[in-house]
Chain A
Amino acid sequence: MSKRIDVADLNVYYGKFRAVEDVTMTIEPRSVTAFIGPSGCGKSTFLRTLNRMHEVIPGAYVEGTVTMDGENLYGPGVDPVRVRRQIGMVFQRPNPFPTMSIKENVLAGVTLNNRRMSASDKEELVERSLRGANLWEEVKNRLGLPGSGLSGGQQQRLCIARAIAMAPDVLLMDEPCSALDPISTLAIEDLIGELKANYTVVIVTHNMQQAARVSDTTAFFNIAGTGAPGKLIEMDHTEKIFHNPSQKATEDYITGRFG
């Protein structure tokens, strides 16, 4: 569990358009790394290359290497499906499967992959994952009801439960709280704090306070102008980024003097 990710000279393209240019960074295990930066600077794009989710978009490809504990994710013969089983992802908008109950949603990673599991193991996995996502107490009496019947914040935590039920090494979250109210956001921030004990967590956020609250390391991305590729400006301990950034652009952005 919990692995270290090294990215070297990564460029991401959508067809001819280069969306992200020359990113090199190290993401530490058992910590929370936050990506911040203006809209369109390629945070989501870059995040998706960490578990090869960009490949579902036609025309998208990368140059460079991403290694997880020394294994190159883009090496020859690497199966993206296996990569995604080890690197889970939570999306901006909660997306529980509408045809499945709460319980089935948590077990989706098992059942959709046609994996066999005894009923008692399933029960245990459901409870463990839902407890892990801070949702168990709220739904334990209605596990058989549709997942889409939950509130937005509960749905997002259900999606987190679904992701951690796969026991990934790394958990990527793309603006997981942007559709949620402050209370649900707080619940998820607490959860992220707990998750870092076992996982490598990467979170994209537009909320500076959130980045400051939950992350250990912060990476600031910026873009020179429309049509230009996004770049990693600086990456450092969150404390340092927010109090004493080494780049002018970072300081301007976090103090709201951007643009």
Chain B
Amino acid sequence: MTTVATTKTTLSSLTGGELPRWTPWAVLAAAQALGLVVLGTANLAGAIVSGVVLYLVTIAALSGVVEGRRKATDRLVTSLVVAAFVIATVPLVSVTWTALSLGLRRFDAVFFTHSMAGVVGEGGGALHAIIGTLLITLAATVISVPIGLMTSIYLVEYGRGPLARVITFFVDVMTGIPSIVAGLFAYALFSMMFGPGHRSGISGAVALSVLMIPVVVRSSEEMLRIVPNELREAAYALGVPKWLTIVKVVLPTCIAGIMTGVVLAIARVIGETAPLLLTAGYIANMNYNLFADRMTTLPLFVFTTYRNSGGTDVTDLDRAWAGSLVLILIVLALNLAARLIARYFAPKTGR
């Protein structure tokens, strides 16, 4: 504590007391050590938590004595924020670690080249589920993007008065629709058209579109609103009709943002399980046809194999984890793609 003493003696009107830079770390280590000693390694979580609490109290008190109230508050809040951040990352790290360690067991060539058709016991794969996920999500995107984009263009560029307000309201409502309701809607729609108990990839895609459209509308609307009015006026002043202004000036200016929004919307629906349970169903065989018969997606593959395992069968559990890992990787790839798109298509300043 000699440093502390010296800083105290050199107090002037501008310099306050200051704890050495290593103090927080030292206090943290000491607090954790104390927690471990008192509570033992048997109750590891309890030891860590009480260590953190002890650290918060000690650092605040220490800083309060040496540095004054403002710095003490600063240190306390900083520590709380860091603690909150660490707590928030714990589930993420845990999920990633579990999915990786368990998922890698069946992350093999067979898994990516075989369906579950006729598989009893070992082997089998998720090719049918991967294909199903890609096809259904692609179909959902093909349905949602034009509808969502045009709605947002209407809202931003043309919409005035009650109709626009009503649409905005319903888009808000749609954003909050529970996914199972979207599934029921698509199920009811297709049952009405093709008879009860109808199952097909396309009905799953319709269910996903119901979830995706409001997300696309919202994100594109935001992007379209960012485009400065000056650019529209510049185009109008050149005698460019409104629709050409939208197509050739407004959209190219914000295309990066719109595409990013679309990719994130895809990432948002690709993991949906409940609506697909009702609409696309589950099948062990390959099905490349969106318009006939059941079609498996990865979330359903995971769900079904887990259910089949009864919670104990390791072959099925490993398949389920491998399926989860593939899904996580696809979402990861989509997020990465969104970033690349944003960077690649953004207007360049050239300075």
Residue of B nearest to A89 (CB): B237
**Quick check: which of B105-113, B165-173, B228-236 contacts chain A, the rest being far away?**
B228-236
Residue pair B240, A113 in contact (C-beta under 8 Å): yes
- One digit per residue, 1 when the CB lies within 8 angstroms of any chain B CB and 0 when it does not, for chain A 75-109 equals 00000011111101101010111110000000011
- If A97-B231, A97-B249, A112-B248 touch, whether A84 touches B350 (CB-CB below 8 Å) is no
Residue B244 is within 8 A (CB to CB) of chain A in the complex = yes
Within 166-183 of A, Cβ neighbours of B (below 8 Å) are at: 166
Query: Which of A51-59, A189-197, A207-215 is near enough to bind chain B?
Result: A51-59
Closest to B253 in A: A99
**CA–CA, A114 to B248, complex, Å?**
10
* CB-based nearest A residue for B247: A112
Q: Judge whether A162 is part of the interface by a CB distance below 8 angstroms.
A: yes
B230 touches A91 (CB 8 A): yes
Q: A95 to B239, Cβ gap below 8 A?
A: no
- Counting CB contacts under 8 A, is B160 at the interface? yes
The answer to whether the Cβ of A45 comes within 8 Å of any Cβ in the partner chain is no
Q: Tell me whether B239 and A91 are in contact (CB under 8 A).
A: no
Residue of B nearest to A162 (CB): B238
B318 to chain A, nearest CB (A): 49
Q: Report how far A91 CA is from B232 CA in the complex, Å.
A: 12
Among A51, A82, A99, the residue within 8 A (CB) of B237 is: A51
Q: Is the CB of B347 within 8 A of A166?
A: no
Chain A window 142-169, contacts with chain B (Cβ cutoff 8 Å), 1 for yes, 0 for no = 0001101100000000010011001000
Q: Which of A99, A111, A113, A145 lies at the interface centre, i.e. has the most chain B CB atoms within 10 A of its CB?
A: A99
Q: What chain A residues lie within 8 Å of B239 (beta carbons)? A: 81-86, 109, 113, 166
Assess whether A56 is in contact with B350, with CB atoms less than 8 Å apart. no
Q: Which of B195-254 contact A (CB under 8 A)?
A: 228, 230-241, 244-245, 248-249, 252-253
Q: Which residue of A lies closest to B227 (CB)?
A: A98
B230: chain A residues within 8 A (beta carbon):
91, 93, 95
Q: How many angstroms from the CA of A93 to the CA of B233 in the assembled complex? A: 11
Q: Which residue of A lies closest to B348 (CB)?
A: A146
Min distance, Cβ B161 to any Cβ of chain A, angstroms: 10
Bound together, the chains give a CA A111 to CA B249 distance in angstroms of: 11
Q: Is B351 an interface residue (CB 8 A)?
A: yes
Q: Check if B349 is an interface residue, CB within 8 A of chain A.
A: yes
* Chain B contact surface mostly: helix
| Interfacial chain B residues near A149, Cβ < 8 Å | 348-351
Query: CB distance A95 to B231 under 8 Å?
Result: yes
Cα separation A44 to B185 with both chains bound (whole Å): 53
In the complex the two chains form, what is the Cα distance from A37 to B253 in whole Å?
36
* CA gap between A51 and B240 in the complex, in Å: 13
Please determine whether B244 and A95 come into contact, CB atoms closer than 8 angstroms: no
Give A103 Cβ to nearest chain B Cβ, in Å. Answer: 13
Contact of B350 among A86, A93, A148 (CB under 8 A): A148
B231 touches A88 (CB 8 A): no
Contacts of A99 in B (CB 8 A): 249, 252-253, 347
Q: How far is it, in angstroms, between the C-alpha of A82 and the C-alpha of B240 when the chains are bound? A: 9
Please name all residues of chain A whose beta carbon is closer than 8 Å to the beta carbon of B241 when the two chains form the complex: 81, 113
Contact A58 B237 (CB under 8 A): no
Contacts of A82 in B (CB 8 A): 239
User: Chain B nearest CB: distance from A191 CB in Å?
Assistant: 18
State which of A83, A98, A108, A146 has its C-beta within 8 Å of the C-beta of B235.
A108
CA distance A230 to B233 in the complex (A): 23
Query: Contacts of A97 on B, CB cut-off 8 Å?
Result: 231, 234-235, 249, 253
Inter-chain contacts of B253 with A (CB < 8 A)? 97-99
Asked whether, in the complex, the Cβ of A53 is within 8 Å of the Cβ of B347, the reply is no
Alpha-carbon separation in the docked complex, A149 to B233 (Å): 20
**Residues of B contacting A96 in the complex (Cβ-Cβ under 8 angstroms):** 234
Residues of B within 8 A of A166 (CB): 238-239
> Among the listed A53, A83, A114, which residue makes an inter-chain contact with B233, where contact means beta carbons less than 8 Å apart?
A53
Known: A53-B236, A81-B239. A113 touches B244 (CB 8 A): yes
A58-B160, A148-B350 known; A112+B245 contact, CB < 8 A: yes
Q: With A and B bound together, what is the CA distance between A149 and B349 in angstroms? A: 5
Distance to closest chain B CB from A70 (angstroms)? 21
Chain A residues whose C-beta falls within 8 Å of the C-beta of B236 in the assembled complex: 53, 56, 84
A–B pairs, 23, beta carbons within 8 Å: A51-B237, A53-B236, A56-B233, A58-B160, A81-B239, A81-B240, A82-B239, A84-B237, A84-B238, A84-B239, A97-B231, A97-B253, A98-B231, A98-B253, A98-B349, A108-B234, A112-B235, A112-B238, A112-B248, A113-B239, A148-B350, A149-B348, A162-B234
